[in-house]
Amino acid sequence: MNLPELTLPQMLRERARSDARRVAIRQKDFGIWKPVTWADYHQRACHVARGLAALGLGAGGHLGVLSENRIEWVLAQMGAALMGAVTVGVYPTSPSAEVAYVVGHADVDIMVCEDQEQTDKVLEALDQLPRLKKIIVIETKGLRSFTPAQRAVIATFQEVEQLGRESNNSQLIDDALARQHLDDIGLMIYTSGSTGKPKGAMISWRNMRAVVPGIVERMQLHPGATHLSYLPLCHVAEQMLTTFTPIYLGSTVNFGESIRTVQEDLREVAPTMFLGVPRIWEKLHASILIKMQETGALRQRLFAWAMRACAPLAEKPRATWSLAERARFALAYWTIFRALQNFIGLRAATVALTGAAPIAPDVVRFFRTLGVPLIEVYGLTESSGMVTGHRLDDVVIGTVGPATVGVQYRLGDSGELQLRGDMVFVGYYKSPEATAQSIVDGWLHTGDVVREVQGQIKIVDRLKDIMITAGGKNITPSEIENAMKASPFIKECIVIADGRRFVSALVQIEFDTVAKWAEARRLAFTHFRSLVELPEVQQLIHEEIDKGNARLAQVEQIRKHHLLTKELDHDDGEVTATMKVRRASIYKTYATEIEALY
């Protein structure tokens, strides 16, 4: 795919000229999907740009966004971009202290907040944010509750658009775009902070442009592709499918009503491509199994037959299926798989992705058996998104496929994956030391240990997470944890092995699935803890761990485990905003329980 030498905002202007009447975005408001054309998208972004300029945001300034995914998120981002400012996303699930850290560290000048709840987080930390000039609020409900002093720093998104609409500074954007270069910074994406304070990765327009051809080629995308945007836009994975690729390709993005209506929105949109982090696929897996538990005996038997009969086809390219295999899958599809694909909203998907964290191979196998074209991809914030991924007709489950177009890679010391190409980020904001450790002689040191399997890349684990037992054996915790999380009854598994005589684990149940299991057996419980403490549930999890152990080498098997009596929580510092486990924090919190295992 040959892309024009244009930055993302320059490309948005071009898209508005060449595809003016085609639909760029659909947003669901009060149950109705409202289309926005490329011409409207560009025009509204221009209004926002001029409105932001009127409020004092200049070229090189920093705009923060604290919101769930919605059209105003990208209008704010592209509005800032059109006048040469940099956008910084903040996770809407973050507590006030985390918001204050990112907004303060990123030197944000103007903040866009979704509603009163998000605005309160910023106002709470206002005295720590001397650079912040203005807060722009999208949802105005509850604004009257603010004091006059607070109201003085607040403007509504509607007011900002109106300011821009009335502005007579028509040359502002053309002049800014004429000065714009591919090497300018367009985005700052903060890392999840699983091992320390989040770092601000500076992503240039060149980085964004460089990652697009690999995404388009590997996923076989075309301008008619449709996507449901629901993962946080402050994460590079969603940015690459909501802004980078659609603007260069001309495909359509859909914004649902809320993160809570994703499954309903999926059924309505029926997107041709879908990105889910492992947690999403695990939840969909569990929801299918719950649905099958609730159905009649005939359907349960049909499901068991269909999964058994089609399992050998999960890794076999469709073009090579025999007539008998095609007939077998067709029978399974029309009797059971079609209804399940409709249930999860993925019947029209020509490609589905899992990425951002390791996933249990059995979960990938489950969906591919079901006929969902799920491929595993790999990328990181510092590579501006996806840099490896399965080809649709060449899937080796347990790997993340070969490198994409334009990506060079090599294996460094200890098998660490190192990358080179225009997609490698510029560096960390205000942290030259961390940048120098991450990029050495043009090579990005990913921190991920990999090996090559059948010409494809297999992620072994994070270099810093590999553990050595007291007996000197190397243990890769993610492999063990994923073997356990393949169970629909296990949500989290945190392995303990470093310097220990054997492997143990802290285990968190998948509440919804275990609760359904308990209800079906008429077991009484009132809350999470009482469910965990049921002897029958403890026996269930013990059996599930035994099943997981059967897939592992003896040295990797979990010998003892402790069941957590509460869910791991972001507010307690146990997981990040992206639900990545903070191992050090959990080991410290549960030190007594861990010692009791030994």
Kindly report, residue by residue over 292-302, the tens digit of the pLDDT.
888 888 999 99
Higher-scoring residue by pLDDT: 501, 188: 188
Mean pLDDT of 406-426: 93
pLDDT tens, 333-389? 999 999 999 998 899 999 999 988 888 889 999 999 999 999 999 999 999 999 999
Mean pLDDT of 519-525: 92
pLDDT tens, 207-227? 999 999 999 999 999 999 999
Tokens representing 275? Answer: 């990105």
Is 372 in contact with 349 (CB distance < 8 Å)?
yes
DSSP label at residue 311: G
Given a cut of 90, whether residue 498 has pLDDT beyond it is no
The CA-to-CA distance between both ends of the chain, in Å, stands at: 56
Query: What one-letter code names the amino acid at 566?
Result: K
DSSP label at residue 244: I
Is 391 in contact with 400 (CB distance < 8 Å)?
no
Residues belonging to the chain: 598
Nearest to 198 by CA among 578, 584, 588, 583: 578
Is 572 in contact with 582 (CB distance < 8 Å)?
no
Predicted local confidence at residue 196, as pLDDT: 67
**Pairing mode, if any, of strands 110-113 and 503-509?**
unpaired
Looking at mean pLDDT, say which of 261-265, 333-337, 410-414 comes out highest: 333-337
Nearest to 504 by CA among 437, 556, 559, 459: 559
Give start-end residues of each CATH 3.30.300.30 domain in the chain.
466-597
d(CA 132, CA 122): 10
- Beta-bridge partner residues of 457: 452
Given this structure, which CATH class describes domain 466-597?
alpha beta
Give start-end residues of each CATH 3.40.50.12780 domain in the chain.
8-266, 275-347+349-462
Tally of CB atoms within 10 A around 328: 17
Q: Which listed CATH number (3.40.50.12780, 3.30.2020.30, 3.40.50.300, 3.40.50.620) goes with 275-347+349-462?
A: 3.40.50.12780
Query: What one-letter code names the amino acid at 251?
Result: S
From the number of C-beta atoms within 10 Å of its C-beta (0-12, 13-18, 19+), residue 523 rates as: middle
Predicted local confidence at residue 7, as pLDDT: 97
Provide the sign of the torsion angle of the four alpha carbons 196, 64, 261, 236, taken in this order. negative
Write out 576-597 in H/E/C secondary structure. CCCCCECHHHHHHHCHHHHHHH
Predicted local confidence at residue 123, as pLDDT: 92
2 vs 406, 412, 429, CA distance in Å? 12, 31, 31
From the number of C-beta atoms within 10 Å of its C-beta (0-12, 13-18, 19+), residue 340 rates as: buried
Predicted local confidence at residue 575, as pLDDT: 77
d(CA 126, CA 153): 10
Mean residue pLDDT across the chain: 91
pTM equals 0.85
Place of tokens 């070229």: 59
Is 17 in contact with 250 (CB distance < 8 Å)?
no
87 membership: H or E segment, kind and range: strand 86-90
pLDDT tens, 169-188? 778 999 999 999 999 999 99
CATH architecture of 8-266: 3-Layer(aba) Sandwich (3.40)
Predicted local confidence at residue 169, as pLDDT: 78
% of the chain with per-residue pLDDT over 70: 99
pLDDT band at 193 (very low <50, low <70, confident <90, very high): low
Predicted local confidence at residue 534, as pLDDT: 96
Predicted local confidence at residue 470, as pLDDT: 76
Tokens representing 513? Answer: 């699935």
Tokens representing 518? Answer: 């308990």
pLDDT tens, 86-133? 999 999 988 888 899 999 999 999 999 999 999 999 999 999 999 999
Predicted local confidence at residue 195, as pLDDT: 59
Nearest to 191 by CA among 418, 352, 353, 425: 425
- Beta-bridge partner residues of 559: none
Is 24 in contact with 74 (CB distance < 8 Å)?
no
pLDDT band at 324 (very low <50, low <70, confident <90, very high): very high
pLDDT band at 63 (very low <50, low <70, confident <90, very high): very high
pLDDT band at 391 (very low <50, low <70, confident <90, very high): very high
pLDDT tens, 70-90? 999 999 999 999 999 999 999
DSSP label at residue 312: G
Mean pLDDT of 480-500: 90
- Beta-bridge partner residues of 453: 456
Mark residue 333 as left, alpha or beta (left: phi above 0; alpha: psi -120 to 50; beta: remaining).
alpha
Given a cut of 60, whether residue 194 has pLDDT beyond it is no
d(CA 68, CA 230): 8
pLDDT tens, 20-52? 999 999 999 888 899 999 999 999 999 999 999
Query: What one-letter code names the amino acid at 523?
Result: L
